Structure 1
Amino acid sequence: MSTSGDNPFASPEGTNYNPPQAEGSETVVPRTSVDYMETVGDVFNNPNWFVNILLAGIAIIIPIIGGMVALGYIAEIIGARAYGRMKNYPDFDFNRFGEYLTRGFWMFLVTFVTSLCLMPLSMLAGGIFGAVQASENEALIAVGFVIYFATILAINMITFFISCPLIIRAGMLNDFVSAFDFGWIMDFIKKMWVEQLLGGILLYIFAILFMLVGCMALCVGYIPAAGAVMIMWALFITQLYQVYVHRGGQGLPFKEATKL
């Protein structure tokens, strides 16, 4: 399938993709709102959608570096769609494996560092809950469990809201230090937290359905299902970024990623 001719992302090149160069355009194609169902349907609008989800799924299961490659491909999708460079999303190209890995490494690193920074809070909450359990006081244990659960939930929510703008910045700028612009990150969360939360819940449900269907296909379908979920999330993040720019957020240049 292909998208209709009035698609705002349409371009004469169709599905051909020329990545932005080092002096890439900062002009993001804005949109007024997030269309959650479109993020699901657009996965299958690329004429090569099955090959793409299959290759993306294979990349994910590659030990150690697979997740980084997947993140790099997500950034390439954002760069293609958000900057209006093509009507669909770029095909997964193993010839660009090195570029995906380079860009995805920075995206992985910023999320890893963020998780490390929040880990002491999780350890503290676990330690307090363990001490309360040792008291064998049922009332204290109940209170301790509530506090522990609330703390873990808060940490997960913080990670969820921060990770999206972080991977956008790391992916677009292809850099570690530049990703940590806390003013930009807080502005993104302030403008987009409702859509992040709602979209996160809805697309998580869709992801579960995709994976269930994949597992029912003798588990072999798990691989393309994982690829479809990855592309779906990439398209969702793209829309978040576009709406953020529409609401007055600062656009970012798409820096070139060289091979390792």
Structure 2
Amino acid sequence: MSTSGDNPYASPEGTNYEPQQPTGSEAVVPRTSVDYMETLGDVFNNPNWFVNILLAGIAIIIPIIGGMVALGYVAEIIGARAYGRIKTYPDFDFNRFVEYLTRGFWMFLVTFLTSLCLAPLGMVAGGIMGALSATENEVLVLIGFVIYFFSIFAINLLSFFLMCPLVIRAGMLNDFAGAFDFGWIMDFIKKMWVEQLIGGILLYIFAMFIMLVGCMALCVGYIPAAGVVVIMSSLFITQLYQVYIHRGGQGLPFKEAKKL
């Protein structure tokens, strides 16, 4: 199932070479720009692409822990590709289920907490719209709707910009507290916000189309379609991280996943 055994950093040529874990920005393979179409095409460059998308899709539908496992696999892809340890991306290996779950737990926790912190802003916007709607004044109702619409848009945009660096830090460092380095997060957003915005829009369109095609295949295609979206998103985040390093960003070590 996995061409590299339990080590996602093993040489793709199958030798006994076992590289050291990367320790900083000097270990990252930088790139000058993000290739948005490559994020989709590279999904199918792995010889075992069908098995990988199928297993990733199955993992994500597992109740409660499935999303965490998928996030852990996302981090494994980022670590392997960003540090040049493999030419495509590591195979999804159920023998590494616990490692995926452990790493993904921290990634889920930071995204959940961030969403929880931003939720009150949406509630305030909804309250304003409700209060203005209660006046039954058409002008005020319209103003309330506009305020709510743009507030939700701004909150979602802020959430999107924050989630990417948080996911990278939590996944690479395999840690909760270490994810919240706001200096690093703001530096990442400052350097990468244009690519985040463009890539986010394009990936959303790609994902919607892929999931629609999957659902049209008697819904059975939903599972591999979800796997494609997981791997595609991982490859996009990897490119963002590599471009960030090229632009002078600080690299991160890829720490071993340990039991909770």
CA contact (8 A) 2:214 2:224 kept: yes
Q: Closer, same or farther in 2 for the Cα pair 1:205/1:117, shift >3 Å?
A: same
Q: What corresponds to 1:196 in structure 2?
A: 196
Letter in 1 for 2:121: L
Letter in 2 for 1:125: A
Q: What corresponds to 1:123 in structure 2?
A: 123
The CA distance in 2 between the partners of 1:110 and 1:61, in whole Å, is: 21
> Is residue 222 of structure 1 aligned with residue 222 of structure 2?
yes
CA contact (8 A) 2:57 2:226 kept: yes
Structure 1 position 13, deviation (Å): 2.3
Structure 1 position 51, deviation (Å): 0.2
The CA distance in 1 between the partners of 2:18 and 2:107, in whole Å, is: 18
Structure 1 position 204, deviation (Å): 1.1
Structure 1 position 119, deviation (Å): 1.0
Q: What corresponds to 1:241 in structure 2?
A: 241
The CA distance in 1 between the partners of 2:134 and 2:16, in whole Å, is: 60
Structure 1 position 24, deviation (Å): 3.7
Letter in 2 for 1:174: N
- Equivalenced residues, count: 249
TM-score for both structures, normalised by structure 2: 0.92
Structure 1 position 117, deviation (Å): 0.8
CA contact (8 A) 1:14 1:88 kept: no
SS at 1:96's partner residue?
A: helix
CA contact (8 A) 1:132 1:144 kept: yes
CA contact (8 A) 2:11 2:17 kept: no
Aligned sequence identity (%): 79
Name the Cα RMSD after superposition: 1.8
Letter in 1 for 2:211: M
Q: What corresponds to 2:71 in structure 1?
A: 71
The CA distance in 1 between the partners of 2:116 and 2:15, in whole Å, is: 39
CA contact (8 A) 1:34 1:240 kept: yes
Structure 1 position 216, deviation (Å): 1.7
Structure 1, unaligned runs of 5 or more = 1-10
CA contact (8 A) 1:17 1:80 kept: no
The CA distance in 2 between the partners of 1:230 and 1:182, in whole Å, is: 26
Q: Closer, same or farther in 2 for the Cα pair 1:66/1:20, shift >3 Å?
A: farther
Q: What corresponds to 2:186 in structure 1?
A: 186
Q: What corresponds to 1:34 in structure 2?
A: 34
TM-score for both structures, normalised by structure 1: 0.92
Q: What corresponds to 1:255 in structure 2?
A: 255
SS at 1:248's partner residue?
A: coil
SS at 2:136's partner residue?
A: coil
The CA distance in 2 between the partners of 1:135 and 1:70, in whole Å, is: 47
Structure 2, unaligned runs of 5 or more = 1-9
